[in-house]
Homo-oligomer: A and B are copies of this chain.
Amino acid sequence: MLQAALRSGAASRRCVFETFARRLPSGRRYGVLAGTGRVLDAIEDFRFGPEELRDLRERRVVDEDTLGFLADYRFDGDIWGYAEGETYFPYSPVLVVESDFAHGVILETVILSILNHDSAVASAASRMTGAAGSRPVIEMGSRRTHDEAAVAAARAAYIAGFSSTSNLEAGRRHGVPTGGTAAHAFTLLHESEREAFEAQVASLGADTTLLVDTYDVTEGVRTAVEVAGTSLGGVRLDSGDLVVQASEVREQLDALGATETQIVVTSDLDEYAIAALAAAPVDTYGVGTRVVTGSGHPTASMVYKLVAREDDEGRMIGVAKKSKDKQSVGGRKYALRRRNPLGVVEAEVLGIGEQPVGDADDRDLLVRLVEGGEVVGREHASLEAARARHEASVAELPRSAHQLSQGQPAVETVFLTDTP
């Protein structure tokens, strides 16, 4: 595409590319945008170095003119987007790139890869933290997803309200709080459960969490309190019927005087399992596989579409594919979140042309992220800001957004143009 457009001259036409999801994953009420900060980093670093150029030349992927373009490549256009952590709905233009064709088209894969992955994780994570209420949720899914995706997943889950991650690299690279627990291997390494607990408490103090289900839970809890005393930080349950077990363990801990000892539950939890444990005396949830794989929806299925371009006379015109099953709406858009006077969201309003003004309850959604190739909106994609934004954005959604059952998007997307 790039080579052909460079040759025909069309590569220099001004274009608007829009990133959006045509629909939410089946049954979901809202999506959570994550990855914007990683997108900004990726665009700043998007270069073709000597090794990449040599490879493309040797394998004859593109011609010399195109190699020359790639060697000099620096993104020089403008980018707007929803701030990171913001909720989104079908057709929400979460990232909008304006540049010439060549500079914009080449970013498609990296932008979509990041936003599709990170938003899938954040969208699932948001349902889990919603179901958990005020109880903390720890992300511990690194081992069930790609080695680098694990780091990004920890970041995305934190944005959507997870309290911490077991991925230390996510702590180092992104500043996500980290924590962890011992595995069954640690208990099995020792001659007895007691010996394992003694080793852990000797090294980490009584304020640690002991894994009590390697052999027999009742025995494990008794031994744990004997070894660590009643100031034991927590016990972890990783198997069995957690609802029943949590109650039994709570009773046992209280009877032993360990009334402050917390109960951490893990074991293939998802938002439904968390909701089912709402009445159980659980203090903390650990979630692995289901959050890093998007709880059944591992991609947000966003697309990156050309929606407007310069015509032969230099005017910008809206363009769209004519297809029954893949609808796009041409033209550069504005995006507003329409709220009622109580602050509850009523609609996602998208339109082309003049943005309606004057309604104080409308919230403008697009912020400037990149201007002439320079990142200018880093503050809209910082980790803590995104986490706070997610919380605020979810809080203003109508109540139906918080239902875990299958349903329609919580608010409707309204187009203020005659094309749907």
Interface residues of A (CB under 8 A from B): 1, 3-5, 7-8, 10, 13, 15, 17, 42, 51-52, 55-56, 59, 61, 63, 101, 105, 108-110, 112-114, 116-117, 142-150, 152, 167-169, 171-172, 178, 182-186, 188-191, 195, 198-200, 202-204, 213-216, 239-240, 289, 292-294, 298-299, 301, 304-306, 309, 311-312, 319-326
Distance between A405 CB and nearest chain B CB, rounded to angstroms: 21
Distance between A298 CB and nearest chain B CB, rounded to angstroms: 4
- Interfacial chain B residues near A309, Cβ < 8 Å: 188-189
Once the chains are docked, how many angstroms separate the CA of A8 from the CA of B214?
Answer: 20
Nearest B-chain residue to A4, judged by Cβ: B203
Distance between A8 CB and nearest chain B CB, rounded to angstroms: 4
Once the chains are docked, how many angstroms separate the CA of A356 from the CA of B104?
Answer: 62
Q: A5-B189, A116-B144, A239-B324 are in contact. List 7 more A-B contacts (CB 8 A).
A: A5-B199, A15-B185, A109-B150, A113-B144, A145-B149, A214-B322, A240-B325
- Interfacial chain B residues near A189, Cβ < 8 Å: 5, 10, 13, 15, 101, 306, 309
Nearest B-chain residue to A216, judged by Cβ: B322
Once the chains are docked, how many angstroms separate the CA of A410 from the CA of B105?
Answer: 45
Across the interface, A323 reaches (CB within 8 A) one of B3, B200, B239, namely B239
Q: How many protomers of this protein does the assembly include?
A: 2
Q: A142-B109, A203-B3 are in contact. Are A306 and B188 (CB under 8 A)?
A: yes
Distance between A202 CB and nearest chain B CB, rounded to angstroms: 6
The binding surface of chain A is classed by DSSP as: helix
Contact A172 B321 (CB under 8 A): no
Most chain B CB within 10 A, of A52, A145, A146, A311, is at A146
Once the chains are docked, how many angstroms separate the CA of A184 from the CA of B178?
Answer: 43
- Interfacial chain B residues near A299, Cβ < 8 Å: 144-145, 289, 292-293
Once the chains are docked, how many angstroms separate the CA of A56 from the CA of B173?
Answer: 12
Contact B168 A143 (CB under 8 A): no
- Interfacial chain B residues near A239, Cβ < 8 Å: 323-326
Distance between A106 CB and nearest chain B CB, rounded to angstroms: 11
Across the interface, A149 reaches (CB within 8 A) one of B4, B117, B168, namely B117
Across the interface, A145 reaches (CB within 8 A) one of B105, B113, B213, namely B113
Q: A17-B185, A117-B146, A172-B55 are in contact. Are A3 and B204 (CB under 8 A)?
A: yes
Q: A150-B113, A324-B240 are in contact. Are A4 and B188 (CB under 8 A)?
A: no
Once the chains are docked, how many angstroms separate the CA of A289 from the CA of B300?
Answer: 10
Contact A188 B117 (CB under 8 A): no
Q: A3-B203, A289-B299, A306-B184 are in contact. Are A113 and B101 (CB under 8 A)?
A: no
Q: A143-B116, A322-B216 are in contact. Are A8 and B168 (CB under 8 A)?
A: no
Contact B110 A185 (CB under 8 A): no
- Interfacial chain B residues near A326, Cβ < 8 Å: 239
Contact B199 A105 (CB under 8 A): no
Once the chains are docked, how many angstroms separate the CA of A327 from the CA of B277?
Answer: 24
Once the chains are docked, how many angstroms separate the CA of A3 from the CA of B208?
Answer: 13
6 A-B residue pairings within 8 Å (CB atoms): A4-B199, A4-B200, A56-B172, A108-B143, A114-B147, A116-B145
Contact A7 B147 (CB under 8 A): no
